[in-house]
């Protein structure tokens, strides 16, 4: 959510940003919110005047009673009473208008970074850099679930009976590999100075609307019936929510945290749920990283975060590339986003395994995450997040890139301590 003062002073810039995101249906919201904001401020001004006048009259009433001028005092009391009713009406009007302003402001997209390429959707994202040489072996690389089934490592049929499509049982060495990747990612981030955290896996609605747009919420979140609780779609939600309504001392920044959690997603309207794959599913586990920092440091942290993911995948001998997300592919709260994609030898192309986002002060403004500088000034923090690793997709990349001609899967040296010293899965 952008600053209402910024919108008030720069309506044309905000409209141009909306056009860059190909959301022309939201252009009228800018003029609408400016008018509502004007009415809200006028109502507040009148209410403030009435409050000041009532306080003045109340002092006069006390003085008149002290002087024995009861009739004059009673007359002023009638004026105070009448103004009280008027003030109540103005306060209700101010509250109603303020809520309307907030509702509209939460639908207007954040101002994107100047470096973001302009494009309608993810087909127009721009490749930035490749890390590692993509390799296509001479032997066939089977579909990822076929590889898992060779090791009795996945049971989709039983999961479908128990929970439906989009769920799975992982078994044996494949389940162990899944846990090993999570544990390795945890230690990888701890070694880079991040504090490890296991957060709540459910959050309240005010946190949900603080960390994401309404469109994302509808497409992703599972609501707990009869409770003001949602299952998290990623631990970023509860990790950023950790700082709701806080005043952080500037010298305590940055806050750098890495978190483990299960994640739950509807995947509504995306590309459907595969019956045989684990690329897009309703439940998975993930290691995440988040940063809360000073505004002037967010660009530096953005580059550090995506580089962490690249380094982790390269440490496991998986070629990756980075893509700069275009304007139309950015969620409304995001200032900038880079996707990390891993190489698929089977498909002979890259696929997404993580996404790094700078949200500027949008989440902080919604959640009231403020910073107090040493000179006493206060401002909103910047928040960033990035996927360290999400094993279902990581497993696809891992198995395809480490599958050997004899059907075994090589365990890279960095992961062997987490697999009990195993060098291959047979």
Q: Could you tell me the CATH number of the domain that includes residue 89? A: 1.10.287.40
The answer as to whether 113 is a domain residue is no
Predicted TM-score (pTM) of the model is 0.88
Average pLDDT over every residue of 18-42: 95
Q: What is the mean pLDDT of residues 366-384?
A: 96
Which pLDDT score is estimated for 90? 80
Residues 325 and 377 in one domain: yes
Assess whether pLDDT exceeds 90 at residue 56: no
Residues 133 and 114: their CA atoms lie apart, in Å, by 31
pLDDT confidence bin for 275, thresholds 50/70/90: low
Instruction: Note whether 174 and 239 are same-domain residues.
Output: yes
Q: How many domains does the chain have?
A: 2
pLDDT in the model for residue 395: 94
Note the pLDDT of residue 214: 73
User: Residue 114 domain-assigned?
Assistant: no
Give domain status of residue 111, yes or no. Answer: no
Boundary-marking domain end, from 71, 105, 139: 105
Confidence of residue 144 (pLDDT cuts 50, 70, 90): very high
Question: Are residues 66 and 139 part of one domain?
Answer: no
Dihedral sign, CA of 412, 414, 419, 421? positive
- pLDDT at residue 126 greater than cutoff 90: yes
- Phi/psi for 384 (5° steps) reads -140, 155
> How far is residue 267's CA from residue 233's CA, in Å, rounded to a whole number?
10
Domain final position from 105, 130, 164? 105
Question: How confident is the model over 334-355, as a mean pLDDT?
Answer: 96
Q: Which residues, including other chains, have CB under 8 Å from residue 141's CB and lie 6 or more apart?
A: 345, 346, 400, 403
Q: How does residue 226 score in pLDDT terms, banded at 50, 70 and 90?
A: very high
Give the tens place of pLDDT for each residue, 304-334. Answer: 999 999 999 999 999 999 999 999 999 999 9
Judgement on whether residues 323 and 196 belong to the same structural domain of the protein: yes
Domain shared by 174 and 74, yes or no: no
Average pLDDT value over all residues in the chain = 91
**pLDDT above 90: percentage of residues in the chain:** 78
CATH of the domain at 411: 3.30.930.10
* Residue 112 domain flag: no
**Per-residue pLDDT for 392 more than 70?**
yes
Taking the C-alpha atoms of residue 293 and residue 250, their distance in angstroms, rounded to an integer, is 9
Are 58 and 142 found together in one domain? no
**47: domain range?**
4-105
Whether 228 and 335 share a structural domain: yes
Q: Is residue 116 part of a domain?
A: no
Lowest mean pLDDT among 70-84, 258-272, 343-357: 70-84
Q: Are 165 and 259 in the same domain?
A: yes
Whether 89 and 194 share a structural domain: no
Same domain, 145 and 217: yes
pLDDT of residue 322: 98
pLDDT higher than threshold 80 for residue 87: no
Q: Is the pLDDT of residue 270 over 60?
A: no
More reliable by pLDDT, 280 or 4: 4
Please identify, among 42, 77, 105, the residue that sits at the C-terminal boundary of a domain: 105
Q: Are residue 32 and residue 59 in the same domain, yes or no?
A: yes
Q: How many whole angstroms separate alpha carbon 29 and alpha carbon 103?
A: 10
203 within some domain: yes
Residue 280 resides in a domain: yes
Give a yes or no: residue 117 inside a domain. Answer: no
Could you tell me where the beta strands, DSSP code E, fall in 92-165? 126-131, 154-155
């Amino acid at each position: 959510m952008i600053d209402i003062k910024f919108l008030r002073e720069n309506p044309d810039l905000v409209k141009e940003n909306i056009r860059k995101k190909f959301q022309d249906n939201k252009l009228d919201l800018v003029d609408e919110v400016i008018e509502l904001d004007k009415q809200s401020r006028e109502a507040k001004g009148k209410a403030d005047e009435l409050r000041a006048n009532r306080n003045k009259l109340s002092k006069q009433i006390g003085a008149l009673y002290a002087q024995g001028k009861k009739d004059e005092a009673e007359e002023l009391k009638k004026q105070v009473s009448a103004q009280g009713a008027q003030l109540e009406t103005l306060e209700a009007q101010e509250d109603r208008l303020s809520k309307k302003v907030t509702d509209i402001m939460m639908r207007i997209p954040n101002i994107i970074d100047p470096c973001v390429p302009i494009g309608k959707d993810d087909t127009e994202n721009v490749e930035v850099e490749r890390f590692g040489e993509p390799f296509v072996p001479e032997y066939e690389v089977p579909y990822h679930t076929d590889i898992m089934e060779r090791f009795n490592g996945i049971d989709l049929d039983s999961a479908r009976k128990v929970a439906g499509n989009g769920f799975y049982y992982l078994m044996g060495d494949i389940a162990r590999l899944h846990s090993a990747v999570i544990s390795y990612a945890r230690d990888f981030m701890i070694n880079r100075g991040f504090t490890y955290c296991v957060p709540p896996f459910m959050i309240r609605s005010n946190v949900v609307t603080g960390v994401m747009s309404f469109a994302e919420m509808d497409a992703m979140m599972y609501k707990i019936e009869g409770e003001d609780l949602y299952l998290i779609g990623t631990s970023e939600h509860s990790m950023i929510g950790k700082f709701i309504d806080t005043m952080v001392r500037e010298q305590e920044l940055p806050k750098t945290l890495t978190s483990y959690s299960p994640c739950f997603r509807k995947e509504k309207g995306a590309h459907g749920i595969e019956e045989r794959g684990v690329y897009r599913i309703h439940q998975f586990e993930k290691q995440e990283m988040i940063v809360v920092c000073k505004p002037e440091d967010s660009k530096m942290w953005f580059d550090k975060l995506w580089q962490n993911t690249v380094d982790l995948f390269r440490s496991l001998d998986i070629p990756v590339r980075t893509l700069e997300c275009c304007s139309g592919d950015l969620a409304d709260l995001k200032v900038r986003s880079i996707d990390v994609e891993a190489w698929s030898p089977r498909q002979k192309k890259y696929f997404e395994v993580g996404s790094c986002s700078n949200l500027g002060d949008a989440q902080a403004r919604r959640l009231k995450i403020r910073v107090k500088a040493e000179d006493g000034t206060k401002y909103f923090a910047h928040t960033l997040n990035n996927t360290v690793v999400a094993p279902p997709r990581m497993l696809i990349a891992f198995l395809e890139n480490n599958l050997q001609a004899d059907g075994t899967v090589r365990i890279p040296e960095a992961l062997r301590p987490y697999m009990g010293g195993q060098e291959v899965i047979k």
